[in-house]
Chains A and B, each alone.
Chain A
Amino acid sequence: MTLEMQKPETMSQQDIEQKVRAVISKALELEPDEVSPTASLADEMGAQSLDLLDIAFMLEREFKISFPRTDIMERATARFGEDALVNRGLVTDLGLELLRRTMPEVDRERLKPGLRAIDVTRLLSVQTFVRIVMRLLEAKQAFPRQCPNCGSLMEESEVTPEFTCPQCGTIVPLPSGDDILFEDLIALTADVQLQTEQPA
C-alpha cells in the first residue's frame, strides 16, 4: 500500500518517521542512512534555511498538510513580544522555558542560558519535523468532513490540503499549520502568561 492510499489513522509514528526521513534525505541529497533522527539538520546534515523550506514543501505534498511558514521564535514573538524572548541576541529564561515546552524532542542540555536566538533553527532535527507532521495529521483527522453548505461528506483532495464537496463543489482548506501551532503555543504557555503578568 502506498502512503497516498493510507488514512492518517492507519499511519504509525514509525511510518511517518520513515517518510519524513526519506523526504529530508531527498531534500538534502543524502543517503537515507545518513539522516539520523536526532541529529541537527543544520549542524550535522548541512541544511540551509532554503533547505528547511524545501523540506516543508515536500512534506506538504507527501502528507497533504499545510506546513507552517513561521518558526517557533516567530510564533512566540507574536505571543509574547520580542523583548521577552531575546535579550542582546540571547534567548531569555522565558524563551528557554517556551522552547522546552514546545520542542520536547530537543535535548534539555541544549536549552541552557547562553543559547543565541540565531541558533534556535540549529535545534531542528528529523524528530522536530516528525512531531509537527503528526500534529498536523491529527488536526486533519479531527477536521469536520461535513460540507458547511450542503452537509454532504467532503472528500480530501489528492493534491492540496483541502476538502472538496462532491455535491455542491465547495472547497474548504485545512487550517494552516501556522494557526494550529500558534493555538498549541497558547495552550502550552497559558500559565507562562500569568507569570509574566504577575511577577513574583
Chain B
Amino acid sequence: MDRLTNRVAIVTGASRGIGAAIALAFAAEGAAVVVNYLSRKEDAETVVAEIQRQGGRAIAFQADVTDESAVRRLVRTAAQQFARIDILIANAGIVRDQLIAAMTLEQWETVIQSHLRGAFLCIREVLPTMMAQKSGNIIALSSIAADHAGRGHANYVAAKGGINALTRSLAVELAPKGIRVNAVSPGVILTDMTKRVRNLANDEILAQIPLRRFGEPRDVARAVCFLASDEASYITGEVLHVTGGFGL
C-alpha cells in the first residue's frame, strides 16, 4: 500500500469520523498527513499517535476553517513542516438540522459557512503551492443529500449542492495547472453525524440501500484514496458516490 508515498495531505475535520478514516488511510498509503481539527484536540492527537505508531508522519493542527487567518496558518504550517502540499481534503463541516420554516439564520449560516466558506478558504490557500508544483489534488466531501431530497436539512443540502458545483467549476479552472478537483459523496455512513437519523429511522433507511448496510468511514476513505492517487490521474470534476446504491 504505497499509492501516496512522499505525498503531503491536509485533511480538514480529521479528528473523528470520515475525516479521521481518511487521515489514517492516507498515512497507510505513505502520505504525511496534517490532521486538522476545530475543538477535539485529544481525538486529533489520537489519530496522529495511531499514524505514528504505524511508522507514518502526521501532525495535528487546530484551525477553524471559516477563519481566514487560521486557514493561512494551517496551510503555512503544513508547507513548512513537510515542504509541499499535494492533497487537500475539504472535509470539515457541521450539521444544524431544522425544517426550513423554523430554521434560524444562525443555523443556515453556520452550515453554509462551515462547508462552503471553509472549502473556499482552504482551496484558495493551497493554490499558490500547488500551482508552483504544477500538481495538486483537491477532494471535497459532498453528500448523497445533495442529490436525494429530504426534509429538515435544507442548509446542509444547499451546502453540499454548492460543493458539487464548486468541484466542477474548479476542475475546469485549475486543470491547466495540473490540479485535479473531485468530490466524494457518501451515503449514510456510521458516524456521529448520522447517529440521530439512524436512531429515528434505521430500518426505513436500510430498506433504501441496495447493498443493505450502512457505510463505514473506511468505505469513504478508500474512495478518497483512489481519487487522490495516480490511479485517478485522468479523473477530474467528478462526484464519486459511495452510497451502497442509495438513491439510485
Chain A residues packing against B (C-beta within 8 Å): 26, 29, 48, 50-51, 53-54, 57-58, 60-61, 159-160
B132 on the A face (CB < 8 A) = yes
Q: B173 is contacted by which of A50, A51, A60 (Cβ under 8 Å)?
A: A50
Number of interface residues of B (CB under 8 A): 11
B132 contacts A58, C-beta separation under 8 Å? yes
Main secondary structure of the interface of B (DSSP, over half): helix
Contacts A54-B131, A54-B132, A58-B132; is A160 near B176 (CB within 8 Å)?
no
Known: A26-B132, A54-B128, A159-B76. 11 other contacts (CB 8 A): A50-B131, A51-B176, A53-B131, A54-B131, A57-B127, A57-B131, A57-B132, A60-B128, A61-B132, A159-B80, A160-B76
Min CB distance B9 to A, Å, is: 21
Min CB distance A197 to B, Å, is: 38
B176 contacts A50, C-beta separation under 8 Å? yes
B76 contacts A54, C-beta separation under 8 Å? no
B80 contacts A54, C-beta separation under 8 Å? no
Residues of A contacting B176 in the complex (Cβ-Cβ under 8 angstroms): 48, 50-51
Q: B70-105, CB under 8 A of A: which get 1 and which 0?
A: 000000100010000000000000000000000000
A141 to B127, CA, bound (A): 28
Min CB distance A72 to B, Å, is: 22
Q: B124-136, CB under 8 A of A: which get 1 and which 0?
A: 0001100110100
Residues of B contacting A53 in the complex (Cβ-Cβ under 8 angstroms): 131
A122 to B174, CA, bound (A): 21
Residues of A contacting B127 in the complex (Cβ-Cβ under 8 angstroms): 57
Contacts A48-B176, A50-B173, A50-B176; is A61 near B128 (CB within 8 Å)?
yes
Contacts A48-B176, A50-B176, A50-B177; is A57 near B128 (CB within 8 Å)?
yes
Residues of B contacting A60 in the complex (Cβ-Cβ under 8 angstroms): 128
Residues of B contacting A51 in the complex (Cβ-Cβ under 8 angstroms): 176
A53 to B134, CA, bound (A): 13
Min CB distance B179 to A, Å, is: 10
Min CB distance B143 to A, Å, is: 29
- Which 9 residue pairs are nearest across A and B when measured between Cβ atoms? A57-B128, A54-B131, A50-B176, A58-B132, A50-B177, A57-B131, A48-B176, A57-B132, A54-B177
